[in-house]
Structure 1
Amino acid sequence: MMSLRLTRGGTACLTRQPDYPDAMTNRPQGPKRWSAQQIAEDLRRRMHEGEFASTGQLPPTRELVERYSTSGETLRQAVLKLKTWGLVTSQQGKGVYVRTIDPVEWRIRTTDPGAAGRRLAVDFDSWKASVESLGRVASQDPCVVTAQRAPDEIADWLELEPGAWAVARRALRRCDGVPFQLADYWFPLDVAMNSPLMEDHDISGVDAVLADIGHAQVHRRHIVRSWLPTEDEAKRLELEPDATNPITRHVVVARGTEGKPVCCTVTVAPGDRNVLIYDFDE
């Protein structure tokens, strides 16, 4: 920007001024008054560019308030947005830390053809193989087995009457000790009754157990949806309260030889922790 000024001798001359008032300061070029949304988006950009990688945390509040020419309350709201996006965590008196979650590539492969035919594997062994192929540690918390009235959504998938009883086997999968997935298996009560599916311990090969008790699976429907986590899902996955980071819910409804659903598998995977990759063998 050019400006006109007079010298002491009365001669007019043109001089160049900085294009931005903040060009000589550490303030970013942007609006004169930053909103919480704008601050949060700018901090997210800086995090993605690795600006805070060396310290692992955001600069002190005082420094950020000065940089963005804002108030402490507006900055607090911006940090809250970063928390709900799953990008930062905070510790009282210690600062705001940048989350560094490395997502797992979960490769959902077709199995070898056999008596039950070729299928997509979504069980723990399949997920564990994906995690360990990356040189990381996969584990699963002890399975919780309950007989309860099926939630409406589960009842719909299993084609049960409203309020009908079902058996749930619920587990939490971890990668390097961090919750990464929920893996819940639901069965109609008459399918699971008096079978190993009712036993309160981990079992491997749910498909094989179903086949052994006369409910071999002959058809599977995969349903994949993304939305915000429920309160229960957020609690089990140890997500930030009011988290807005979407989760992927992967549902598999399996039917037996009689054409009725015999199992419904619900896998809940936070979007920032999981990458689902489907491999199909011809």
Structure 2
Amino acid sequence: MPALNRTPKDAVDPRALHERIATDLRREILTGERRPGEKLPSTQALKERFDASSATIQKAVSMLKAEGLASGKAGSSVTILEHRREVMHPAAYSKPAEAGRPYRWLEEAEKRGKVPTIELLNVEELRPPADVAAALDLGADGLAVLRQQLLRLDGEPCELVKSYYPLEIARGTGLAERRRIKGGTPTLLNELGFPPVRTIDLVTAEEPTQEEYAALQLPSPISVLRTFRVVLSNDDRPIEATTMAKAGHLYGLRYEF
């Protein structure tokens, strides 16, 4: 098939030119090539670099401003702002909390000087998506309890979380109740006799769903970091499957091996 013989020189980027320009400039800001307080090149310089019109450059700069990466007026002086990308460490808050302590995610956020909040959006018994059902070994007709939450840092939405638990584990416990769980679900699972022993994360960059776009208040069509997490207990029994979506331009994940 001809498509298999394409080379990088043949590739065509289907995105609008202003989106491509914003993407290139965004990467330069997030990697530190362009530093906070520095001025973006002039509109004329950007026009020459990207072979674009003034209107296209202005649209690209407007995207960066909407994302909180720059301020000022295109055509005069646009300043790079301190970017707000947070690096999250999943291993730091995946374990059960110590006795009497709050959920580890809350404590870790406070250590970084943030004000964390968790809003419980929904708790219900349902037939989960196919990937969740497979991860939990539920079969085609198996049921699970869904706990859906929106996590915020300093009042801004940072993560949409959907956690699923096998019905035989969750029914009749705090997992199935519409209330916050002290210490978080890892703590409760441990108390129920299902200690989290092993966690498997699959992280992908994906286009946001309509639900994610609205919940995370995304400023433009930016990809989200989607983590599909499976938590295993003793004998590799799956006890939780969770999907987590974060704004790709604001958050990164760090794993140490």
TM-score normalised per structure 2 = 0.66
Tell me, what secondary structure is at the counterpart of 1:78?
A: helix
Specify the alignment match of 1:32 in structure 2.
none
Match of 2:95 among 103, 121, 133: 121
Specify the alignment match of 2:238 in structure 1.
261
Match of 1:150 among 114, 125, 128: 128
Report % sequence identity. Answer: 25
User: Could you say if the C-alpha distance between residues 220 and 89 of structure 1 is closer, same or farther in structure 2, counting changes exceeding 3 Å?
Assistant: farther
Check conservation: 2:162, 2:242, Cα contact below 8 A: yes
Letter paired with 1:136: K
Letter paired with 1:74: T
C-alpha displacement of 1:104: 2.9
Are 2:176 and 1:176 equivalent residues in the alignment? no
Specify the alignment match of 1:117 in structure 2.
none
- The aligned length equals 226
State the alpha-carbon separation in 2 of the partners of residues 264 and 46 from structure 1.
34
User: Could you say if the C-alpha distance between residues 88 and 179 of structure 1 is closer, same or farther in structure 2, counting changes exceeding 3 Å?
Assistant: farther
State the alpha-carbon separation in 2 of the partners of residues 64 and 141 from structure 1.
43
Match of 1:209 among 188, 210, 216: 188
Check conservation: 2:69, 2:83, Cα contact below 8 A: no
Alignment of 1:1-282 (within 5 A): 36=18, 39-40=21-22, 43-44=25-26, 45=28, 49-50=34-35, 53=37, 64=43, 68=47, 70-75=52-57, 78-79=60-61, 82=64, 87=69, 100-109=82-91, 120-121=94-95, 125-205=103-183, 206-213=185-192, 215-217=193-195, 219-231=197-209, 232-244=211-223, 246-256=224-234, 260-278=237-255
State the alpha-carbon separation in 1 of the partners of residues 145 and 21 from structure 2.
48
C-alpha displacement of 1:103: 2.9
State the alpha-carbon separation in 1 of the partners of residues 174 and 186 from structure 2.
12
Letter paired with 2:251: N
What per-residue deviation string (whole Å, max 9, x for no partner) do you get for residues 109-139 of structure 1? 479xxxxxxxx53888222222211222111
Question: More displaced, 76-85 or 221-230?
Answer: 76-85
State the alpha-carbon separation in 2 of the partners of residues 110 and 136 from structure 1.
16
Check conservation: 2:123, 2:146, Cα contact below 8 A: yes
TM-score normalised per structure 1 = 0.61
Letter paired with 1:267: M
User: Could you say if the C-alpha distance between residues 207 and 220 of structure 1 is closer, same or farther in structure 2, counting changes exceeding 3 Å?
Assistant: same
Letter paired with 1:178: E
C-alpha displacement of 1:172: 1.4
Q: Please identify which structure carries the higher helix content.
A: 2
Instruction: Find the structure with the greater CA-based Rg.
Output: 1
Check conservation: 1:108, 1:122, Cα contact below 8 A: no
Tell me, what secondary structure is at the counterpart of 1:68?
A: helix
Contiguous gaps of at least 5 residues in structure 1 = 1-34, 91-95, 112-119
C-alpha displacement of 1:98: 6.6
State the alpha-carbon separation in 2 of the partners of residues 109 and 274 from structure 1.
16
Letter paired with 1:182: L
CA RMSD of aligned residues (A): 4.1
What per-residue deviation string (whole Å, max 9, x for no partner) do you get for residues 152-180 of structure 1? 11111111122432111111111111112
Letter paired with 1:210: L
What per-residue deviation string (whole Å, max 9, x for no partner) do you get for residues 189-222 of structure 1? 2221122111111112423433444x42364231
User: Could you say if the C-alpha distance between residues 220 and 68 of structure 1 is closer, same or farther in structure 2, counting changes exceeding 3 Å?
Assistant: same
